[in-house]
Amino acid sequence: MQHEYQDILVSDIVSGVLTITLNRPEAYNALRTQLLSEMADVLDSAAQNDEIRAVVVTGNEKVFAAGADIKEMAALDAVGVLNDPRVGHWRRIAQFPKPLIAAVNGFALGGGCELVMHADIVIAGDNAQFGQPEINLGIIPGAGGTQRLLRTVGKSMAMQLVLSGEFITAAQARDFGLVSEVTIPERSLERANELARKIATKPPIAVRQAKEVLLKAYETTLDSGLSLERKAFTLLAATEDRNEGIAAFMEKRKPNFTGK
């Protein structure tokens, strides 16, 4: 069953996985404030719900999201942009502590591409197109696109995308590490769900620690990243799931993780 918000659809929890579908087809899923606020609210409550172990976000077969809502953005002057509530919604999305997996078909542009970069794993249909066309509007990416893109695809491709506004294909995005797998469009959501369901069976404290430590690699030195890894690794030695995982291996049986 799908729970209808104004701009997104939210599934029931299936095997530990919640699926969010961006649902403004008439506006190519443009990420207006309402949509980002609903998405951030759903992720905030998913973070608190132990039954939810991973979240999948997707669009439709033609478009993931065509970016910030240009019509909404047009009304903002500099003070409006400064005080834009979307900044806070993006921050809440970035802080979601559980795995977020994107299944992307069609256009992922501007804020849509930036939403892709907020996901931990990205599966793309072979019809996907990624780009940061903000330059054509006299602006630059404003939801982390300059920083996350450069850290993801390297300097030359980040510059190419941001300065020229050109799009890249799913295959190019995979070659540059923006996407981990490319499928036929009909399979991308199923594959994302498959991965999410698999992750949902893993020990949740270890999953959360892994996400936190991996994301730190974006923004810290090797030395402090390794130190954080060591601390997280040590902390996990105190969990029941670690004992269970090791015992199950020794006893040649499947582990039964409890999240403790």
Q: How far is the CB of 22 from ligand CAA (least distance, A)?
A: 12
Residues that bind ligand CAA (CB under 6 A): 27-28, 30, 66-71, 107, 109-111, 114, 133-134, 137, 141-143, 145
Smallest gap from residue 240 Cβ to ligand CAA (A): 42
In the complex, the smallest distance separating the C-beta of residue 207 from ligand CAA, rounded to whole angstroms, is: 29
Residue 111 designated active-site: yes
Cα(132)–Cα(121) distance, rounded to whole angstroms?
19
Comparison of 106 and 245: residue with beta carbon closer to ligand CAA = 106
Catalytic residue among 106, 110, 114, 210: 114
Q: Are strands 181-183 and 121-125 parallel, antiparallel or unpaired?
A: parallel
Catalytic residue among 68, 119, 143, 192: 68
At 189, list the tokens. Answer: 């959501």
Q: Tell me which residue has tokens 């795995």.
A: 99
Sign of the alpha-carbon torsion through 47, 49, 51, 57:
negative
Is 134 labeled as catalytic in the residue annotation? yes
Shortest gap between Cβ of 8 and ligand CAA (angstroms)?
Answer: 16
The residue number with the shortest CB distance to ligand CAA is: 110
Task: Copy the structure tokens of residue 218.
Answer: 């974006």
Q: Is 68 a residue of the active site?
A: yes
**Distance (Å, whole) CA 217 – CA 202:** 22
Task: Please check whether residue 171 is in contact with residue 183, taking contact to mean a CB–CB distance below 8 angstroms.
Answer: no
Residue whose structure tokens are 């207006």: 32
Catalytic, out of 125, 134, 192, 210: 134
Catalytic residue numbers? Answer: 68, 111, 114, 134
